[in-house]
Each structure stands twice: as structure tokens, then as C-alpha cells.
Amino acid sequence: MGEVRTKYEVFTMTTGQLTDVIGTALASAIRAPSPHNTQPWRFEVRPGRIDVLLDRHRILRAADPGGREARLACGAALFNLRAALHAAGQATAVDLRPAGKPERVATVWLTGAHTPTAEDLMLAMAVEQRHTNRRVFTGRPVADEVRDALVRAAVLEGGGLLVVDDPARLDAIATLLAEAQDRQRQDAEFCVELSYWTTSFPGRDDGVPVALGGPRPGADGLAAASPCRTDTVAPQRLPLVGVLVSPSDTSQDVVRAGQALQRVLLTGTSAGVSASFLSPLTEVGRARRALRAQVTRIGQPQAVLRFGYGQQTAPTPRRPVRAVSRPV
């Protein structure tokens, strides 16, 4: 515990300058996942508070025209920010209905001292270790205690995680995923957008490098992949599929679901479990509605995740903190 605490310094706010603890917290925030690694967030730092803003210029117009996934990503960044501050000994309060700019999705208030718990430190440490694993997973099952921890993590942040292990529901998800991928594959605008964010430029600090992309799904439709690619792999039945749900699609509920999503991902990382997204299921409107009707039945599906074990992969790049934040 002492070794972790030395990574952070006592918080003091100085005019026009980010302190070490705020800089560390922002560096943690930008490690959150986002669709195609678009990183659709900005941060404004004021005395005693940090505002999280949606960067509308980075919303995917074809895959995410309403900005729901972008707000989900901002919620994940918000959770990382909180996790780093708590590990640094800073208590926080979060306002998901902040006044002012319409793109402002949350305000984090620094409310005083906080004694970090073992879970606080675990989550903060997992931020740097977590990254989306787009590769094929092995058949090793996820232990029941890990599954329970993932479900608990979502509930703690006001969301829900439905673990799907019933063969009939898994078959329904596989069918919906295949249909959604076909629709995206036939959408020229989507494929152009995907091509732009799938990068082979070594110096680029956003997008997903080609080397980190996963294979196209096999016959069961559940391998993570780009729907516009044509390479195939043998079918695999995944160890675990989970659907993250929220009560509604209001901005506040989506941002809250983003926090639940990130707590789930970091909890899995701490247990040695990898995760990736089955994004077409929530990006294609017809598939998302069918997913709710056939699988979740309660709540709005915000993300569908596969959990399991596989080969280690490198993290995607990130823009520097100075590019996405400014003191006010």
C-alpha cells in the first residue's frame, strides 16, 4: 500500500498550474476505452473541481450519431479520474447535471481528505494494466467468484451487468451480432469511418493500430472483430458474455453506465481477465432493440462485453494530457 501511495502527492491547487496529483488523475482518465479509440473527452481544471466535457468533434457520425457511446466513454474516463484521486487521498463528489456548457457531462468536486481503501488502490493500479483485448480468447472459463465481482462492480456504480450463460440467449446474441455486422458491412459511410480510425501510422496518438485489430467472427459470431474485414477464424464459444445495462438513455444514465463499465473492466483486469466489446450489438439500432427484447428485457443495453483469457496485447495510443485539458 505504501508503494502505491508514493505515486501520488498531496493535493494543492495553484493558479494556472496542474499539480502532480491532478496531472496523474488526468493521465489515468485518458486511459479509458472509447469507440475506435476516438478519445471523445476534454477536461477543464478549476480550483477545487475538474469538469469532464464531451468533445463533439470526436463523435462517430456513422457508428454513434447520437453520441451515446461517446458519453459512455466520458463516463469511463470520469471513473478513472475518481479512482486516481481516491488513491491519492482525495475525497470527491460527482455532479452529473452540471450547469454551464451543454457539452459538460460531469463535474468532479474535490471535497477533502480520503483514506484509500485496498479496493481504491487496486482499481487505480489496474488503470495502466487494462486495455481492450481484440484477440481470440482461450476456452478457459471465468471463475464464479470473478463473475460475481464483475456484477457487483456494475451495481456499485448504479448500473447492471447481466451475465449471459444460457445457450439459448447466447445463440440469440450470436444471431443478432451477425445481422448487425452485415448491416455495418453494407454501410459505406461506416466502413469509411472505420478505415479512418484503423491506423497504420506509427506516430498517430488515436485510433486503433492495424496490428491490434482482432479477427473477423467465425460461425458463432462472437469473436471480436472489424465487420468490414474479410479474414476469418474458426468458431469459438466464449467463456463469458456480459451485457451492461442502465435504467434509461438519458445523458446522466449513460455517463453513470460509463462509470459502471470502467469499474467492471478494472475489476476484471485485477483478476487477470481480459475484455473486449461486441459493439455492433449496441451501434445498430435494430440489433440493440432486439437485444433488449430478447436478452436483457430490463434496462437499456449500453455495452456487450466478452470476458476471458488470451494472449497479451499492447495498449492503444493516447493523446497527451496537455492536448485534452486546460486550467481555467
Helical ranges in 88-187 per DSSP H: 118-129, 144-156, 167-185
DSSP-derived secondary structure letter, 207 = S
Distance of CA 77 to the CA centre of its chain: 8
| 214-223 residue pLDDT tens | 554 443 445 5
CA dist., res. 93 & res. 110, Å (int): 7
Q: Enumerate residues 6+ apart whose C-beta is below 8 A from 147.
A: 163, 240
CA dist., res. 274 & res. 101, Å (int): 36
Burial pattern 147-160, b for ≥16 Cβ within 10 A else e, equals: bebbbebbeebebb
Domain annotation for the chain: domains and CATH numbers: 2-131 (3.40.109.10), 144-308 (3.40.109.10)
Residue 296 confidence class, pLDDT cut points 50, 70, 90:
confident
Counting Cα atoms < 13 Å in the Cβ hemisphere of 227 gives 29
| 252-285 residue pLDDT tens | 999 999 999 999 999 999 999 999 999 999 999 9
Full-model pTM:
0.90
Percent of the chain with pLDDT over 70: 87
Is the model's pLDDT at 326 over the cut of 70? Answer: yes
